[in-house]
Amino acid sequence: MSQAAKTAIAPQTLDIRPIAGALGAEISGVDLSQPLSDATIKDIRQALLDHLVIFFRDQDITPDQHLAFAKRFGETVEYPLIKGLEDHPEIIKVVKLEHEKLNFGGLWHTDMAYAEEPPLGTILLARELPAYGGDTIFANMYLAYETLSDTMKKLLEPLNAVNMSNLPTAVAPRKARIDDSAKANSETVLSATHPVVRTHPETGKQLLYVNGAHSLHFEGMTLEESAPLLGFLFEHQTRPEFTCRFRWRAGSIAFWDNRCTQHNPVNDYHGFKRMMHRITLAGDRPC
C-alpha cells in the first residue's frame, strides 16, 4: 500500500476501556480486517504503552490480515523452536489437544527472554477454544519493580540474570509441540544475559525483568546463591493486585508488550482443544 493510500484512510474512533486496575484494556470500534490509518495505528500503539496489554473482540481475520496488522507495529520474527504455518512461517500454532495434560507456555513467563533481543510484543488470536477455561492472566512488571523497597531496588540495580531456553519448567509445557512441529535446530540451547532492572525503551520507566520460566541465576553468582532472591522475585512479581485476567472468545486478540509484562495461560480445560495463532514482533536488547 502506498503512503498516499495509507494517509487517505479515515481514522477510526477507538473506545478504550480498562479491564483491571493494574493493566489491560479492551479496544472496540476498530475492524482489523480493514486497512488502518496511521493515526489509528498510533492510537493503538499508545494504548499498548498505556495499558501494557490490549484486547480486541470479534475479529474475523485471515492469516494475511493478522500479519498485515502486526507489521504496522514492527518487524515480525519466526519463533526459534517450532515451525510456523506452511504459508505463513511467522505465525505459529499455540495448541493443546484433547488428550494432552500440559499447555504450551503454561507458566508465568516473558516470551523468549533467552534471546539476545527478546520480542517487543506478541499478537495472539483465538482460533478454537474449549467449552470453558483457558483464560490468560497478565502481570505488570512496572508495578512489580515500583513496589519493592528502596533497599531491594539498590541491591537489584547492578545485577544481571542469565536466561536459558532449556529450563525444565519451560521445556515440559512445549514438549508436545517440539515432538510434532520442531524446527531442525530446536535442541539448540539459547542463552542471554539481561539486566534484572530493565528500562523500557519507549516509556523510559524501570521494570523487573526476570521470570520463572527462563531466569536461571544471577551473573557472577551460583545457582544456590541466586535461588532465594529469585524465588522471592518470582513470587512477588505475580501478586494478584499486579494482574488482569482475560476470558477468550473466538476471534479475540490479545496484544501484549513483552518488555514490561508476564503472562500465564491457565491450564484448566483438560479434554478440550484450544488453538491460537501467535505472531511475534522483533524487539531490542534490554538495557
Of 177, 200, 217, 263, which one is the catalytic site residue?
Answer: 263
Q: What is the pTM assigned to this prediction?
A: 0.93
Residue 80's pLDDT is 87
Question: Which of 1.10.490.10, 3.30.360.10, 3.60.130.10, 3.30.565.10 would CATH assign to domain 15-281?
Answer: 3.60.130.10
Catalytic residue among 111, 177, 214, 277: 111
Structure confidence at residue 8 (pLDDT): 65
The pLDDT value recorded for residue 177 is: 73
| Active-site annotation holder among 45, 66, 109, 274 | 109
Report pLDDT for 7: 47
Beta strands in the chain (DSSP E): 15-18, 25-28, 53-56, 76-77, 91-96, 121-128, 136-140, 160-164, 191-195, 197-199, 206-208, 215-218, 243-246, 253-257, 261-265, 274-281
Q: What is the residue extent of each domain of the chain? A: 15-281
All residue ranges of the chain with pLDDT < 50 are 1-7
Contact call for residues 246 and 143 (beta carbons, < 8 A): no
Based on the residue annotation, tell me whether 174 is a catalytic residue of this protein: no
113 neighbors 164 (Cβ within 8 angstroms): no
268 part of the active site: no
- Whether 109 sits among the annotated catalytic residues: the reply is yes
